[in-house]
Chain A
């Protein structure tokens, strides 16, 4: 109820110059009452401000959020310091990285795979699960908006493997990390979930995907970058999803460590500059399940490269 009121008010923010400034505090108050985190509140407000005759600055939004939090005795909102990017021109760095690659075709990528991918794509789901997860790990596989239901969309690895063998049916998405199988509060504060960031049981992998990059350059990137990769998945569309072994990047066992090491040091400082989609940086991210036939594209989602141990493709 509180969340609905907050969401409805968000859509009513007037254009700058028509009462937007005062309205920011109203939305912030409703967000605080609904239990929305300051970071989410900031993003929601920024995205919902319509075009007007002036630009609403980040500081103006931050001030409204801080005031709302302070009025409700829940502390103030101090934005996290942004990590300094390690290069000034990410695009130039990206171009130089891919210029070092001598591989640009899927056939060469396939040749490089430590686990030979000889079978048809239909066998990919079982191969991926067997290679990257333990038998007892709870794994979510389903549609993007499917609820996490134990025994249905969330099952232990072994059960999924048997399911795929028996039915031959697949689903389009998989969450990249194993889940606890227990409910946890949603980040929005609106009830519980079984498949959110708070349900992650072990931080094994993170997903790297490019926003808008041609396939050849994606392959070049993956064959040169010094990251511990475990698999590359052809999404059946334009993209390639890369899964990174986060334990080889740093020892991560808590969400704070994930935020600092993966979101901060890996994504914000380096990968974001190279053009990687920052939205993929959460631990309960959905990736494409290899072996699923993507009807709208008339293509199989399939494995392009697979390794039990995370390592750079160029190693």
Chain B
């Protein structure tokens, strides 16, 4: 037997280096969605997984009324996807615009609604086009409307995540829609995301109905070229082909091995007590459908379930990291930001100031927050490396 365990050493080196950064599980991006994401991320600055998730969201919207998982639950491939990234550098809107355009060209019945101002307005649109993708270039637009007193938008969107019925009554009109299939694709800056939340949102549970996808610019492409026409046509044809195949299959079944695998994850791994795990199981089932569709599978096998588990585990980490800041005053907000950033690894004072937006809060307040955390032994300072780090017993405070 080897004296030095190189297997362990190499694994530790590669794993350790990955640290706690939020890297999308890239190896799951297969099939036609993977091809699409590769084609466009190669020529633009946006990350590949933004294209991948935009594609899945649009595909889910197209197939929302047609494809189901063979289970008692009414699992539909609809997603509420939010891209999060830094302002100007996240490259969030480009994948949304390109993917929407691609699907509009691929399918005549691909219905879009840009911005909804009220639940009633959305309802009227859904009456005409029951299968609709609601698109926001800036999710703040949704938030600002939804928090207005008397606006029913928040309740409508929340209800339509699981249900397909919508009913509203005004003095002028009674509206009842039996078959509404709503999907959402939106972009939001991380900064806005942290600040835009109103207690109503968390109370009604909209946050855990959203699938958050974080990322940012991965390379420079000053003038992105047009995608080669042959490749574009190929993608278009493949997309139409997978949609046809999915419509033909209609009900996707899990193989016995994949049922066992999912069962094991659901019972033993998924943290049912964590607030960040709420509805991850619902997303896992929806994503199983979508991943099977794009990979042209006839049923959901263990490969698909393993990929989905990787994806929702990543989503759990994203939710932990980007949970809207829920604090009563500015100092508490800064403290929370400092804790979250240090949970990813030690940082110098300068880096910590940059990552927590110290200039916006004001130096005096920021230093007070830092001193408070040091005084209460939540964080500590390493004199040798000149870095702040989190003390392990504060992990639960995330």
Report which A residues bind B (CB closer than 8 A): 51, 53-55, 57-60, 81-82, 84-93, 96-97, 225-228, 247-251, 265-266, 270, 273-274
Contacts and interface: CB of A to CB of B under 8 A. Distances in A.
Contacts of B10: 225-227, 270
B181 to A, nearest CB: 26
B14 A92 contact: no
B384 interface: no
Contacts of A247: 2
Given A54-B238, A59-B296, A250-B7, A89 B2 contact: no
B314 A88 contact: yes
B238 A57 contact: no
11 contacts: A53-B237, A53-B241, A54-B237, A82-B303, A86-B14, A90-B26, A93-B14, A227-B10, A248-B4, A248-B6, A251-B2
Chain B interface extent, by class = 35 or more
Contacts of B238: 54-55
A88 B24 CA distance: 7
B18 interface: yes
Nearest to B2: A248
Contacts of A96: 17-18
A281 B14 CA distance: 19
Nearest to B13: A226
B11 interface: yes
A55 B236 CA distance: 11
Contact of A226 (B9, B18, B35): B9
A314 to B, nearest CB: 10
A81 B241 CA distance: 27
Interface of B: 1-2, 4, 6-7, 9-15, 17-18, 21, 23-27, 31-32, 35, 234, 237-238, 241, 295-298, 302-303, 306, 310, 314
Given A57-B296, A248-B6, 8 more contacts: A58-B295, A84-B306, A86-B14, A92-B23, A93-B18, A97-B13, A226-B10, A248-B2
Contacts of A228: 4, 6
A305 B309 CA distance: 43
A270 B2 contact: no
Contacts of B306: 84
Given A55-B32, A57-B296, A89 B26 contact: yes
A88 B310 contact: yes
Contacts of B32: 55
Given A84-B306, A89-B23, A227 B15 contact: no
Given A54-B237, A92-B23, A249 B14 contact: no
A249 B18 contact: no
Contacts of B296: 55, 57, 59-60
A87 B35 contact: no
B92 to A, nearest CB: 19
A250 B2 contact: yes
A46 to B, nearest CB: 14
A54 to B, nearest CB: 4
A265 B21 contact: no
Contacts of B241: 53-55
Contacts of A88: 18, 23-27, 310, 314
Nearest to A82: B303
Given A226-B13, A265-B7, A249 B2 contact: yes
Nearest to A249: B6
Contact of A59 (B13, B24, B25, B298): B298
A227 B6 contact: yes
Nearest to B240: A54
A225 B10 CA distance: 7
Nearest to B28: A88
A227 B298 CA distance: 41
Top 5 A-B residue pairs of the complex, sorted by shortest distance between their CB atoms: A89-B23, A57-B296, A88-B25, A96-B17, A54-B241
Nearest to B15: A86
